[in-house]
A and B are shown apart, each in its own frame.
Chain A
Amino acid sequence: MSHEQAFLQILKNEREQEMIPFFKGLPEEERAKLVPFLVDLCRDYLEYKENRSFGSLTFNRKATDKQASMLVHAAFICFNRKQFEKVVLVWMLDTKKVDEILEWYCPKWFGDYINREGEAAFLPTFLTYEWVVKISDRGLIHPTRELIVKALPQLLFETGKDRQWVARPSNLLKYPVTLRDHIWYFFEVENNLHNTDRFLHDANGTKKEQSHWMQALKQYSDEGRIDRSRLLKESMLASGRNFNKLQSGWATSLFSLLEPRKDELLSMQDALFSALNCPHSKPVNTALQAFKQIADDPQCNVDGLIEAAPVLMSSETKAIVKATLSLLDKIAKKHPGKREAICVIACQAFLISDDEVQTRAAKLIQKHGDENSAAIAEAVASYREPMLVSVKKLLSPFIKEDANRNTRALELVPVEISQQRVHIPFPDSPDELVFLASQAFDNNQPYHLDLLPAALIRMNERVPEIADKFTPALQRALKLCLEGFTTTTGHLDHLLAVFFVDYCKLLIKRNPEQTTALSALQSEFLKKEGETRPAWMQPRIHSLVSWATSSRDPIYKAHKELLLLALTRLEKNETLPLLSTPTHEPAYVAPDVLINRLKLYQEKNHEPDTTDFHVAISRCDLSESKKFLDLARSSLQGEIGNLVQFLMDRDGRPQPPFSLHATWVLTAATKDRDHIPGEIMNLTSMPINYLNGKFSWHHEMETYTVGEYDQKRRKYVQVKKQRPILIVDFNEKSYQPRDSIRGFLSRMFAAKKQSRPGIYESIVFRNQYNIAAGRDMARLICLMPNNVEPMLAQVVGKCLKYNTFMGTTDLAIVTATLEAMVHLDADYGEMSHLLIGMSMLSADKTVQSFAGELWIKGVSSETLNAHRLGEIIGVNQAIEFAPLKRLTDLLGSNLMNVSAKHNLALEVLLNEIIVRLPAKPVTNLRKLLEIYLEVISANGSSVPPAVLSHMRSWHSSGSLAKVLGSIGELHVQ
């Protein structure tokens, strides 16, 4: 019988106990000869194969569990590493069998293999620390530090009765190498000991959370089995080795548990300095506390501490700054010669707008600083701007008035607002048109969407001669159609692509000879689409008429109608320009250009298209439109002339006839949404808040369910909670859009003829999860740059409902809206105020910063009502809609001390917020009051009686006493 047959018999009969002796009896070269046979056998027995029977699908392997184990260990004996890893998962090895084999044979690759497995995220169950030490002692492996730190944590724990974990420190004494060498690896290599310690904190049935590893290390250090001074040093040095926060924190906790003595701390100052550089706060704080204990000792490296102090003082963690100040105070007491340097460093604390920190630094300077020291005076002077008023008072002896220094710098720094309109270059040659077409789908500029159809209309006659140059643009458009919507394209990019494909079809139809390249490309894509489109799917390359988003969002209606109009003009070879094409960034139409375009229409006796006309009116630059009244009077006739004059004359009244109902309504809303004349409002059935955006809003409590871990029941449970939500009252039930049946019927039977401007009617965010809206938002806002309020109402109502963003779509929409607002100079209405207010309370810093910039701009241009914004924020904070800290952080970092004018507006804002806050102090109220104190002090204002009386309810709160006292004092003055 051959060896192959013999092994097969053993395998088939599952004679497990005979397997290892069988191989042991074979010389190595014979075992090597068995390899091809074993490879086939493993494939046959171990591979899982599909099994279909009685309609069900299962996967099975041929081998029984016993046979699988036999094959795995046979492979261990005979295979090289590559072959072994191909057929065997490490989890299939059995320690007993491997030990039995290792008695007489060890593969050359064994040590490397085990070490590499030890680096995996999860250790195989057989790979215990004890086994690793055993095989290491036999010289079969040189375990890596990574393997040891993975395996060792479990050595301390055993399972006792009822599967309860038991911590047994004596296990650490089983092998001398454990305490001698291996425990130090925990401080040198990234490991998971802290997690093991945390998850098994209740071992031994202890109720109190405790770290058994730490206790064990402390016990053996106390008993002298571990070098205590090395343990102390290593636990501090670990924080300088770029470990994660938890691992550094664990080592620091061990250090604290060991309660180092003063002499020990003195001997390990290098390690303590190393901990000061740690990016995590816990080791830094612990090291600072340690230094505080030894700061009085002559052996303490005081110079080193003074050198390290500037970095510590710039920490974002206030506790570190406070601890540093406290340490510096102690050093200054002991070392008079260092006082000046210490006072200079302490000044850095004034960059933190926190009363407690600044006061502590100021008291240190007051206590140790020499009033005649030039260095201290210079340092104090350089930090004067961020210094709080109360601190300035404390440090008044150190503040030297400099005649050349402008003490009211704020007044001299007006905030720059650029009102200069930037002209949009119009392509004036076919080549420029080609390059515009090739980049139009990238949304490089929001106006490219308008510019491309306008340029095509103007150069329609010349296009056939350059038609082949459009192939790259057509290729991009077709690709966009095939790919559909992606996260990097907006719906409007797709819409423009569909328009361009339709236009190219027209070109091909009219000029077959000049468009062979276009035609070939189109056929290629149509073929590709036919091959790849599933039967159930609508064609992806379709006409512009049938374009719609999947949720049929009405908000894209105006853009689609404009492109359809352009396509019709191109089909009819009409060269009349579109009225709505913007001439200045971001989307304004210059008044004279609008007048001249309309004049052309009248000369050609051509009625303007409604959507085009409406968008043109909405985009008309009204900043200096009155200048163009004479031009309008002399150029335009009839009702359109009246309309344009009404639009451009701020004080003008509408002159009948009013046959263009919707246009009059839109013109009035564009010109002055807050004062739409009654005769115009009679022309429409649209509720006025859909025109001026003045929707009411309120808060409601929403009940929601969340999964939480129940510590007692030790499982996740569903818990009902409540949270406030912001509701904008759109009254959608009473307002029926025209495309609904009820809307249609109400129009049919209306007592008088009423119209609604289409672009206002289509401002509805139907799909809350429109992921492309962020990319489209700027272009949507550019439809009506003079009156963005209705659009903002949708943004606030749909995306700022909660105090945090529910998804990236909402965040993208709000960010894009705020960014677009920065480039417009529209008056801020109710919805602008609501948007700015809610964005100031946002969890996203960028959104907050944008809101801050809009506030700065609004105050500078006097379009922002600080009272109203204060009311809005106050109402939200009264119910703690969002943590007050968000607002105080923004106030401190972005809004304070922008200019004197801004500080006055800030004071108004804060007055309004404070009187709306509840009698029970909300979290972080102290910080808000500190900012308030700063602002009124800087402004030299007094506190209004209403604010003062509202503050009385907070006097019982101890933490507010100081700041309320200061505010009270100011009032008396």
Chain B
Amino acid sequence: MSETITYKYSYPSSLVRDVSDDQLFLAKYSEVQKKDAPCFFWGRLKDPYITARCLIGLSNVVQSSFNLSPFQLALLRDPIVTAGNEKIRFEGFSHCAGVYARVDILPGGHDGEFPANGTTNVDFNQPMISALGSINRNENVVLSVGRTEVAIAKADTRIVERKVPLPTKWIKGLTTVQLFLAEAEKAFSFNRVQALQLFQSLPNGKPKADYYLITRGAKPSFSPVKSGSAICIGGIHRLRLLEPLIPHADELRVFAHPQMQSTTWQLYFGNVRFCLSLSRDFWRGFSGEGAALESLIEDVPDTWIDSIDKYGYANQEFNPTLLAIEEGVDMKKIQNVTGRLSAMGLLGYDLDENHFFYRRLPFKLGRIMSLNPRAKAAEQLILEGKVDIIQRSDNRVEARVEGSGVRHVVILQGDHEQCTCMWFSQYQGERGLCKHILAVKKKLIS
């Protein structure tokens, strides 16, 4: 990968021990920062011990990889933080883009101020992570996302600059996973004892087979055999990332995608939450799932994006219906908007509150928009005149689309789409639509 992204932090993140209290300074960097906002949050953490453990858990996720080489592992990507609307959310992805994690510090979890709203990369360095491990429950810890003037005076002025390959998979996964979260439904809820019991049944090693979360009586366990209401987990060894947090959690809720394309494991610690989403299998990142593709068929007017970007603030609830009314847009079109905005990195999803929230990923929009090769390939097929609509009636469309050496058959019948290409044959639409179906749909709209 030739293109790189460079994190430029004006100082390293650090935990500074003081007589009165400890200060956790998180250095921030955004390549799209609109104005100079030195500090997004400054205030006391009400449960510093749990917050520190969750941040260590997040750092374990962003440092993990389930299909990459040690060389690629060395090129760490930093998590991003969204501060605003009384909430602080830290998000990150594993290198393989198959595990997504988010730490939410809810309004009761902090006592501080938000001098500015926004989303930014934060420097996660090893000394800072090691220092987090020594935070105790009764300590006073002040968190600072970006530095206040006061803090700068004390600070280490060393500039941190790290180059990593442009994390396209990472960004794409970050945009896609929100749609999976939005579709997920709560499947199980366990108390701490049950959660500990469940994690005891995690198989050793890295099993290739799918495992299922089943319950026998009140006892949950993982089994390779599917039964009734079981949910399916591929690459189950990735769940070990949660193990250090389970003993602290009050509750574990498990959410599953209706087609079992992802599972989400949410731990609750009072006003702090830790959310971990796993892709369908360890070799499949969220980045390749194409959940947002259908939403990308229809263009969203630039004015909408401008208006959302202009008026939206970090962590604000996103209400598509309201947007439609305010902008005077046809309600039929609105269903694609959410997916489209999410694919552009403008929305995140909160499972508990069951709504999307606004946060603009700290990467150039051009980068994010170039991340859907299937959508681009579909456009290319139309441009090259390779899509023929053979038959079109109220409920049925039949088309031929040029493939490599053959003409694929695409049939759209009601909500059911089928194609004869290899991608569709293998995954039967589970990993998003193929470029041929996308091209036919796009042509029909245009």
Q: Report A's interface with B, CB cutoff 8 A.
A: 237, 240-242, 270, 273-274, 277, 301, 303-304, 307, 310-311, 313-314, 348, 351, 382-383, 385-386, 409-410, 412-413, 415-416, 418, 431, 434-435, 438-439, 442, 444, 468-469, 471-473, 475-476, 517, 521, 524, 815, 819, 822, 845-846, 849-850, 852-853, 893-894, 897-899
Contact = CB atoms under 8 A, between A and B. Distances in A.
A524 B405 CA distance: 10
A249 to B, nearest CB: 18
Contacts of B203: 845-846, 849
A418 B425 CA distance: 29
B243 A431 contact: no
Interface stretch (B132-140, B177-185, B290-298, B368-376): B132-140
Given A273-B134, A303-B136, A413-B216, A819 B422 contact: no
A382 B197 CA distance: 11
B49 A434 contact: no
18 contacts: A240-B133, A241-B130, A274-B134, A277-B133, A304-B137, A310-B247, A385-B218, A385-B219, A409-B217, A409-B218, A413-B216, A413-B217, A435-B411, A438-B420, A439-B425, A517-B406, A893-B201, A899-B217
A819 B224 contact: yes
Contacts of B407: 468, 471-472, 517
Given A385-B219, A846-B207, A898-B216, A277 B56 contact: yes
Contact of A415 (B216, B248, B405): B216
A289 B190 CA distance: 34
Nearest to A852: B223
A413 B405 CA distance: 57
Interface in B208-232: 208-209, 216-219, 221, 223-225, 227-228
Contact of A853 (B225, B421, B426): B225
Contact of B247 (A270, A348, A468): A348
A521 B406 contact: yes
Contacts of B256: none
Contacts of B301: none
A853 B224 contact: yes
Interface string B398-420: 00000101111101000000101
B49 A307 contact: yes
Contacts of A314: 196, 199, 243, 246-247
Interface of B: 49, 56, 63, 126, 130, 133-134, 136-138, 191, 193, 196-197, 199-201, 203-205, 207-209, 216-219, 221, 223-225, 227-228, 243-244, 246-248, 403, 405-409, 411, 418, 420-422, 424-426, 428
B134 A439 contact: no
A303 B138 contact: yes
A277 B411 CA distance: 56
B409 A850 contact: no
A186 to B, nearest CB: 16
A273 B133 contact: yes
A307 B269 CA distance: 14
A709 to B, nearest CB: 26
Most buried by A among B138, B227, B244: B227
A274 B136 CA distance: 11
A492 B203 CA distance: 31
Contact of B428 (A383, A444, A822): A444
A409 B191 CA distance: 18
A307 B209 contact: no
Nearest to B17: A270
A311 B53 CA distance: 11
Given A274-B133, A303-B137, A845-B203, 14 more contacts: A273-B133, A277-B56, A303-B136, A314-B199, A314-B243, A314-B246, A412-B217, A439-B428, A472-B420, A476-B425, A819-B209, A819-B225, A845-B205, A846-B203
Contacts of A444: 425-426, 428
Contacts of B63: 242
Nearest to B403: A472
Contacts of A894: 201, 221, 223
B398 to A, nearest CB: 8
A472 B248 contact: no
Nearest to B418: A435
B425 A438 contact: yes
Given A846-B209, A898-B216, A475 B406 contact: yes
B263 to A, nearest CB: 18
Contacts of B228: 416, 418
Contacts of B227: 416, 418
A273 B227 CA distance: 43
Nearest to A413: B217
Contact of B196 (A270, A351, A850, A893): A351
Given A351-B196, A410-B217, A444-B428, A307 B201 contact: no
A472 B204 contact: no
Given A307-B49, A351-B196, A894-B221, A435 B426 contact: no
Nearest to B408: A472
Contacts of A852: 223
Contacts of A893: 200-201, 221
A845 B204 contact: yes
A303 B137 CA distance: 8
B247 A313 contact: yes
Among A277, A382, A383, A897, the one with the most B-chain Cβ atoms within 10 Å of its Cβ is: A277
Given A311-B244, A418-B228, A442-B426, A241 B126 contact: yes
Given A273-B134, A434-B420, A386 B409 contact: no
Q: Closest 7 interchain pairs by CB?
A: A310-B247, A413-B217, A472-B420, A439-B425, A438-B420, A853-B225, A845-B203
A471 B406 contact: yes
A469 B420 contact: yes
A386 B197 contact: yes
B93 to A, nearest CB: 19
A240 B129 CA distance: 9
A301 B244 contact: no
B208 to A, nearest CB: 8
B130 A237 contact: yes
Q: B205, B218, B405, B420: which has the most chain A beta carbons within 10 Å?
A: B420
A409 B215 CA distance: 13
Contacts of B426: 439, 442, 444
Contacts of B405: 475, 521, 524
Contacts of B137: 303-304, 307
Contact of A469 (B133, B208, B224, B409): B409
Contact of A274 (B130, B193, B205, B408): B130
A758 B421 CA distance: 38
Contacts of B217: 409-410, 412-413, 899
A849 B221 CA distance: 11
B318 to A, nearest CB: 37
B42 to A, nearest CB: 25
A277 B49 CA distance: 13
A435 B133 CA distance: 55
B131 to A, nearest CB: 8
B247 A473 contact: no
A314 to B, nearest CB: 5
A382 B193 contact: yes
Nearest to B196: A351
Contacts of B196: 314, 348, 351
A849 B224 contact: yes
Contacts of B216: 413, 415, 898-899
A435 B420 contact: yes
Contacts of A517: 406-407
Nearest to A415: B216
A850 B200 contact: no
Contacts of A386: 197
A241 B193 CA distance: 30
A899 B411 CA distance: 50
A413 B243 CA distance: 28
B151 to A, nearest CB: 22
A746 to B, nearest CB: 44
Contacts of A898: 216
